[in-house]
Structure 1
Amino acid sequence: MRKQPFSVLALLTTVGTISLASCNKENETQPAQVEQAQDAKAEEAYPGQTGAAKAGTWGGESITYQEINGEKVYEGDILLTAEQVAASEGQNRPSSAGRTTGRWPSAVVYYTIDAALPSQSRVTSAISHWQANSPVRFVQRTTQSNYVTFRVGSGCSSNIGMVGGRQYINLASGCTTGNTIHEIGHALGLFHEQTRTDRDNYVNILTQNIQSGYEGNFTKYSALGYGGTDYGVLDFGSIMMYGSFSFSSNGQPTITKKDGSTFNIQRTGLSAGDKSGIDAMY
């Protein structure tokens, strides 16, 4: 039986990624605008903080990112490792020989939960949701060398794909179960939906309304040097997609559909497109 189309399969030289989605209502009230702006705002490594744009390379291509508190932050909530990014100031990118592609072998993610993390049910609920809706399995870590630790953070953030060794999903107190599902998506290798290379066929990016310092959250991954291929059509309801008012500086939309209508952010669970794409990826 033919599977439903899915959104993005971004095949990086070091990380396999995919970003996906389904549909939401066209219009929203002011309270909805505030709520979805807060949902997107929570998904930052360091809410309210920005850093100077830095140039580097990833997979042999040029990229830009922000350095905040010593960490390399991409798209607000994605943390790049030093091995993934070699600063352009005369450094050589470490050899990729023997490195993983960023996908978790056999679709198994080993994990631990830091004892200091409050409201651990948001983690277990998010894991249960992924297991009920994807082929990915989550197993508590014993002695495995590659694993994720859920811990307290300043905001919500994650590495992109499996980076090797211990990596973190950081969760502040305001990070909900939906935000946790989103961050797990990054750890599995998902980018944000609005960074598709073909997104201009489906949306308008209103740069004049984007908060200063957050413009990079709306940049196509291809423009940052990532190689990839988009499959299917952009899916507005993906748990990896921003809403129309995400990171707005003035209450006006930052993203609209091509006809000018707005759409809500979705942080309830995986969309039909998310499920189909993850199934194809893993």
Structure 2
Amino acid sequence: MRKTQFSVLAAAAVFGTISLASCNKETESQPSQLEQTQDAKAELAYPNQTGQAKQGEFSGQPITYQEINGDKVYEGDILLTTEQVAASEGQNRPGSAGRTSGRWPSAIVYYTIDAALPSQNRVTDAIAHWQANSPVRFIKRTTQSNYVTFRVGSGCSSNIGMIGGRQYINLASGCTTGNTIHEIGHALGLFHEQTRNDRDTYVNILTQNIQAGYEGNFTKYSAQGYGGTDYGVLDFGSIMMYGSFSFSSNGQPTITKKDGSTFNIQRTGLSAGDKSGIDAMY
């Protein structure tokens, strides 16, 4: 395989977990100017809601997630299924976990858009952006059993990877095209950039400024038991990266560069590093 500037995290799951690399080049087929002027914030499945913190397993490794309205919410906007999560006590790990989750076969994602979803151009524009910048193809679902439905949600959220059967990308009215591109990234199997194993080389995590209940959003994979190797450097421009003030409890930064400087969240489009990582993954 050719060398690329990306970070691959082998997370003991069937699907690849890619934390993508640094590049400041302009993205291609960028969404509208509105995306570049928005006050972008880190995505949340349930804004202004917190749930009970629970311990479980994901891909055979211990994790902490929040249970909100019956959903298992991981890293703020990732929805884990019961089959993906096994309780740390009192349950056996489901036999199907880690087998149905993964990459989309032949890099084809079948999808539908719920008729009740407003501003459906957010979805079609996001899909067009992914198709212009990656090998992934999106085809409207007819009778396929594995597919994504874009629907109205309380916030911006998605399952991680292909989980088997029907799965959802949930979009509240405030979720933009850029947020939709981000959530599609999760559906393809991508986690957040700031959870790389090597992130401490590039950033400071200021835990004292993180909102209570969201500390797990900043936990690197190695701290949760994941093995893997990071390649390239952390991508501050990745669409999967949090900004300096994401999940701040007091207006102070939660992430800074090693020199103490802050940086903006980017929800305009895929970075060159994002493209390289997806190209290697699919």
TM-score > 0.5, shorter chain as reference: yes
In structure 2, the residue matched to 1:206 is 206
- 3-state secondary structure, aligned to 2:40: helix
> C-alpha separation between the residues in 2 aligned to 1:246 and 1:76?
11
SS at match of 1:73: strand
Q: Name the residue aligned to 1:122.
A: 122
Is 1:255 matched up with 2:228? no
Q: Secondary structure at 1:148's aligned position in 2?
A: strand
In 2, distance between residues paired with 1:229 and 1:2?
Answer: 16
RMSD: 1.9
Task: Give, as a single letter, the amino acid of the residue that structure 2 aligns with 1:229.
Answer: T
2:166 corresponds in structure 1 to 166
2:40 maps to which residue? 39
Task: Please state if 1:69 is matched with 2:56.
Answer: no
Gaps of at least 5 residues in structure 1 are: 25-34
* 8 Å contact from structure 1 (residues 16, 101) kept in 2: no
Q: Aligned partners of 1:47 and 1:98: how far apart in 2?
A: 29
Aligned residues: 270
Deviation at 1:98? 8.9
CA displacement, residues 59-111 of structure 1 (integer Å, 9 cap, x when unaligned): 22211111011110000000000000011231011113892351000000000
Matches for 1:259-274 after TM superposition, within 5 Å? 259-274=259-274
* Matched AA of 2:248: S
Q: Distance in 1 between matches of 2:47 and 2:152?
A: 14
Length-normalised TM-score, structure 1: 0.91
Q: CA deviation at 1:229?
A: 2.5
Q: Is the 8 A contact 2:73 2:79 kept in 1?
A: yes
| Structure 1 residue 23 displacement after superposition | 5.3
Ranges in structure 2 where 5+ consecutive residues have no aligned partner: 25-36
CA-CA distance at 1:13 after TM superposition: 2.1
Query: Is contact 1:118-1:173 (8 Å) kept?
Result: yes
Percentage of matched positions with identical amino acids: 87
Query: Distance in 2 between the 1:100 and 1:184 partners?
Result: 18
Asked if the contact 1:21–1:239 (Cα under 8 Å) also holds between the matched residues in 2, the reply is no
Q: Residues 89 and 9 from structure 1, CA distance in 2 versus in 1: closer, same or farther, beyond 3 angstroms? A: closer
* Contact 2:20 2:274 survives alignment (8 Å): yes
Aligned to 1:31: none
- TM-score normalised by L of structure 2: 0.91
Instruction: Show CA shifts across 1:216-273 (max 9, x none).
Output: 1111122223333212111110000001111111111110111111111100000000
